Structure 1
Amino acid sequence: MAREYQSKLFWRAVVAEFVAMTVFVFVSISSAVGFKMSSGSNPQQDNVKVSLAFGLAIATMAQSVGHISGAHLNPAVTLGLLVSSQLSLFRAAMYITSQMLGSVVSASILHGVIPGRNHTLGQNQLDENVTVGQGMIIEIFITFQLVLCVLATTDKRRKDLSGSAPLAIGLSVALGHLCAIDYTGCGMNPARSFGPAVFIGFENHWVYWIGPVIGGIAASFFYDFILFPRNYSISERLKAFTGGNVEEYDLDGEEATTRVEMKPK
């Protein structure tokens, strides 16, 4: 942890998460609330437009800052990679803090610049016909598929990867929105849900943390211990919590950078 704290690369990565999250939330939420200002008295949201906006925004930001921070842009992704021994606990905490701050800053800007005050800043809400339990299950599954995609497309052990990992991850985000937006608003990103909730309210907000966290951690365990196990010892995994990615330090303690890049190796 001390080495990360003293590293300029580490702080650049933290700043990159903050800036990228701010841009992502601004662009994606703008697409979600815009329909209320251009439609009639009974507006209908264009789910395809919103889903593509979220997916393309993530892909764009991942391509832009993936080489700096890994472009997690989602606490569930960060926690999944933490469980996968690909970053330290300190880095994970700083990333999540930056993501939440970026979301709040972006939501505050949108709150001030979007015309009118009859919008909800794209706040995620359960449909009136969806129970809390049903919403939780939906959030778990859509986050599971996202984190599974991140782990698979950024796995340095794979030799068959081609194409764009950011694009694949962006499509996974779009898929999650197409699946869940009518039921829960699609809260697979807890930080994205947090920003609007600060200004609108925290009704059932815990669903948008517990569901994605369970889904992200479950995907990490499933991929790392069943589908494509990593042969890390317990001591190596414990060291990763303080030193970062097992594959990026040697056993003599010479530690390199701990970024998890969103591109195939």
Structure 2
Amino acid sequence: MEGKEEDVRLGANKFTERQPLGTSAQTKDYKEPPPAPLFEPGELQSWSFWRAGIAEFVATFLFLYITVLTVMGVQRSSSKCASVGIQGIAWAFGGMIFALVYCTAGISGGHINPAVTFGLLLARKLSLSRAVFYMIMQCLGAICGAGVVKGFQPSQYEMLGGGANVVNHGYTKGSGLGAEIVGTFVLVYTVFSATDAKRSARDSHVPILAPLPIGFAVFLVHLATIPITGTGINPARSLGAAIIFNKGHAWDDHWIFWVGPFIGAALAALYHTIVIRAIPFKSRA
């Protein structure tokens, strides 16, 4: 019996990975990383800084190219049932974000969206100089991506709307603004949760591929808000399509696709930092 009891004790301690979720946090040493400096002039001399901006440019370029073509394909069809439809558009946006975040996460962080960059800036995850550089490169990439689509199909691009975001008929500007705020909140909140270093340390026995929930969040938001605004939640995407399409109605409500995403990103950053992580209270302690 004593031998059996010893075997039982050994067996109980042998498979520590079967602890309930969260209990492994007690055995992990985790230190909160210091906030990124607001200004970091030294990084301007680093190749990794410029390489990251180039990665953001290329990723946003590819994002606009694929997604605008998908939107135009649905608009061109005489029936939504004869094309990929709204679900296909949502999958194109979410799938491209999944693929591109996966490709660029180790280089630039895989933002591909000024609203995401803005939220991470507010949470002090990157410097102001890097954030501004990312936003510029994202917007340039979006303009070039939409421009290439128009260059390949100029007449079709003009006729099919060029993927420009507008508040659709039957919805007010307030409805469009609300959709952009909440949609961007969902996206940026998912980005914070999927990339949280403390969560990775606590639940390291539960592998999480960060680009997957981020891409899936984009997919779900598009399903919900395509009928309202065509779904912006990305100021660079909205700006690129608006500049290349350059028709009056594409600019009428364009402010919504900047104000809404930036408000949503700010709310997500505050919620994650203050409520979920309680970082200001830890600093005081």
Aligned to 2:133, the other structure's residue is in SS state helix
CA shift for structure 1 position 113: 0.8
CA shift for structure 1 position 127: 1.1
CA shift for structure 1 position 227: 1.6
The aligned residue for residue 177 of structure 1 is 222
Choose the corresponding residue for 2:59, options 8, 17, 20: 20
- RMSD between aligned alpha carbons? 2.0
Summarize the Cα distance change of 1:205–1:45 in structure 2 as closer, same or farther, 3 Å threshold: farther
Q: In the aligned structure 2, how far is the partner of 1:136 from the partner of 1:16?
A: 30
Alignment of 1:79-118 (within 5 A): 79-114=118-153, 116=156, 117-118=158-159
Summarize the Cα distance change of 1:167–1:200 in structure 2 as closer, same or farther, 3 Å threshold: same
Aligned to 1:134, the other structure's residue is in SS state helix
Residue 275 (structure 2) pairs with residue 226 (structure 1) = yes
The aligned residue for residue 114 of structure 2 is 75
Q: Deviations over 1:121-176 (max 9, x none)?
A: 11111111111111101110010010000001101111225231101100000011
Residue 156 (structure 2) pairs with residue 125 (structure 1) = no
Residue 266 (structure 2) pairs with residue 217 (structure 1) = yes
The amino acid of 1:31's aligned partner reads: T
Structure 2 gaps of 5+ residues are 1-39
Q: In the aligned structure 1, how far is the partner of 2:134 from the partner of 2:73?
A: 29
- TM-score by length of structure 1 reads 0.84
Q: Deviations over 1:97-136 (max 9, x none)?
A: 0000000001110111126231111111111111111110
CA shift for structure 1 position 38: 3.8
Residue 235 (structure 2) pairs with residue 190 (structure 1) = yes
Structure 1 gaps of 5+ residues are 235-265
Q: In the aligned structure 1, how far is the partner of 2:112 from the partner of 2:73?
A: 23
Percent identity of equivalent pairs: 38
Q: In the aligned structure 2, how far is the partner of 1:41 from the partner of 1:84?
A: 41
Q: Deviations over 1:2-40 (max 9, x none)?
A: 211011111100100000110011111111111233436
Q: In the aligned structure 2, how far is the partner of 1:227 from the partner of 1:42?
A: 42
Asked whether the equivalents of residues 171 and 228 of structure 2 are also in contact (C-alpha less than 8 Å), the reply is yes
Q: In the aligned structure 1, how far is the partner of 2:133 from the partner of 2:240?
A: 17
Asked whether the equivalents of residues 194 and 208 of structure 2 are also in contact (C-alpha less than 8 Å), the reply is no
Asked whether the equivalents of residues 126 and 184 of structure 1 are also in contact (C-alpha less than 8 Å), the reply is yes
Summarize the Cα distance change of 1:155–1:30 in structure 2 as closer, same or farther, 3 Å threshold: same
The structure in which a higher percent of residues are helix is 2
Q: In the aligned structure 2, how far is the partner of 1:78 from the partner of 1:132?
A: 25
Asked whether the equivalents of residues 194 and 210 of structure 2 are also in contact (C-alpha less than 8 Å), the reply is yes
Q: Which has the larger radius of gyration?
A: 2
The amino acid of 2:140's aligned partner reads: L
The aligned residue for residue 144 of structure 1 is 185
Asked whether the equivalents of residues 104 and 196 of structure 1 are also in contact (C-alpha less than 8 Å), the reply is yes
- TM-score by length of structure 2 reads 0.78
Q: Deviations over 1:170-227 (max 9, x none)?
A: 0000011001000111110110000010022322100000000000010000110012
Q: In the aligned structure 1, how far is the partner of 2:258 from the partner of 2:102?
A: 26
The amino acid of 2:85's aligned partner reads: D
Q: In the aligned structure 2, how far is the partner of 1:194 from the partner of 1:84?
A: 25
CA shift for structure 1 position 62: 0.5
Q: In the aligned structure 2, how far is the partner of 1:166 from the partner of 1:53?
A: 14
Residue 205 (structure 2) pairs with residue 166 (structure 1) = no
Summarize the Cα distance change of 1:118–1:45 in structure 2 as closer, same or farther, 3 Å threshold: farther
